[in-house]
Amino acid sequence: MNILLVGSGGREHALAWKIAQSSKLTRLVCAPGNPGMAALGELRAIKPTDVAALVALAEEIEADLVVIGPEVAVEAGLADRLAVVGIPCFGPTAAAGRLESSKAFTKAFAERHHLPTAAFAVFEEPAPAKAYLDRFTAPYVIKADGLAAGKGVVIAASRAEAEAAIDDMLGGAFGGAGARVVIEEFMTGEEVSLFALADGKTSILFGAAQDHKRAYDGDKGPNTGGMGTYSPAPILTPMLTEQARLALIEPTVKGIAAEGAPYRGVLYAGLMLTPAGAKLVEYNARFGDPECQVLMLRLKSDLVPYLLASATGNLADMPEPAWRNEAAICVVLAAEGYPEAPKAGTVITGADADFGPDVVVFHAGTARDDQGRLVAAGGRVLNVCARGADLAEARAKAYAAIGQIDWPEGFHRTDIGWRALAR
């Protein structure tokens, strides 16, 4: 098969790494890809939102499958345009992708289909939005409706902070993404990420992970896209998983098809494990980053048949995926200043070393400078991933590898996995 993979982060490097191991693969082209992915496939410098150029590339390479990594390509309608030219696409249409691209859509969808989630209301004007805060006590949860690169959620510790967030968002701080705000009940519990593949009608579970969203040790500091992950997530028991599948995944896949927007691709449910069971925090229309990295390290089955079955409506014929009976961890190395103002261009050495069969270093935000040296070119720069008999062993291997990478201008958390290890 010829496969076009869209995206350039650690998630896409992990997908490329797993796709490259497939017996089904003839040719892998990555657009735009990154220096790490260059060893696995051909790179083409096309942005994930340049739908016309991506469709032309898919036709040029006679792609049998296009795999969408990032949500911006979903929102741009890449799957819609590929459907017109008859090329199978792993990743939902823009309409089905509203499960991620519009929080207001998703909350209303959850209400229509009785999915367990936080109480909420949607506002376009500040005054009624502020009045609605009366129903709750601090902390308040204020969200911009649209895609805001993970920055559109404010958990406000005080009423004043909540009102300021409402003014900011409705005042244009996030452009069109903040034209509407969602205000919702604060849920308490531990968060976990559950993944399912869907083919428009059928869904199958595809692993779970937990991540650490705060920048610094002890879950302190600013929110980020994720500083590390591990899988499995022991807190998500088989019973909770089944509850989430029955109460969320199945009715969502059936419901969105019944509304005329069948969902194909990976559905990523951000769950809050509350005292009243698993509730939906949010949906994402793509793999998590860096959750995907640990799933790929643990996946024993060939990934490609699952991606193709999801794209072509044949998931019902697929067996449950097989997972290694091992734990996997991913530790993110970020550039100094991340998330506010990551420093670019600093030189990294030692990341290409051979760390043994259980350690893989994925590139998330790197580039080559004019001397061919590896340099930082993003906030989250490298993902050091490892497998082990248990989480403690995987973690020891990942941190040992990090110790051999020389990058003074980078930082990482030293406590990834602490919740599961403390249990």
Binding site for ligand GLY (CB under 6 A): 211, 225-226, 284, 288-289, 291
Q: Which of residues 115-154 bind ligand AMP (CB under 6 A)?
A: 118, 141, 143, 153
Shortest separation between residue 149's beta carbon and ligand GLY, angstroms: 10
Of the two residues 153 and 205, which places its CB atom closer to ligand AMP in the complex?
Answer: 153
State the CB neighbour count (10 A cutoff) for residue 95. 18
Amino acid at 240: L
What DSSP string describes 288-305?
-TTHHHHHHHHB-S-HHH
Q: Give the three-class secondary structure for 365.
A: coil
* Closest residue to ligand GLY in the complex (CB): 226
Residue 382 structure tokens: 């490298």
Beta strand extents in 181-241 (DSSP E only)? 181-184, 190-199, 203-211, 214-216, 220-223, 228-231
Shortest separation between residue 383's beta carbon and ligand AMP, angstroms: 19
142 binds, among ligand GLY, ligand AMP, none (CB under 5 to 8 A by kind): none
289 binds, among ligand GLY, ligand AMP, none (CB under 5 to 8 A by kind): ligand GLY
Return the H-helix or E-strand segment holding 81: helix 78-85
Q: Is 332 in the site for ligand AMP (CB under 6 A)?
A: no
Of the two residues 137 and 371, which places its CB atom closer to ligand AMP in the complex?
Answer: 137
Of the two residues 308 and 398, which places its CB atom closer to ligand GLY in the complex?
Answer: 398
DSSP letter (8 states) at residue 136: -
Q: Is 186 in the site for ligand AMP (CB under 6 A)?
A: yes
**What is the distance between the alpha carbons of residues 357 and 386, in angstroms, rounded to a whole number?**
9
What DSSP string describes 248-269?
IIHHHHHHHHHTT---EEEEEE
118 binds, among ligand GLY, ligand AMP, none (CB under 5 to 8 A by kind): ligand AMP
281 binds, among ligand GLY, ligand AMP, none (CB under 5 to 8 A by kind): ligand AMP
Rg (CA), the chain: 21
211 binds, among ligand AMP, ligand GLY, none (CB under 5 to 8 A by kind): ligand GLY
- For tokens 């190395």, name the residue: 333
**φ and ψ of 253, to 5 deg:** -65, -40
225 binds, among ligand GLY, ligand AMP, none (CB under 5 to 8 A by kind): ligand GLY
Contact 395, 359 (CB under 8 A): no
Shortest separation between residue 239's beta carbon and ligand GLY, angstroms: 24
Binding site for ligand AMP (CB under 6 A): 118, 141, 143, 153, 155, 184-187, 191, 213, 270, 281-282
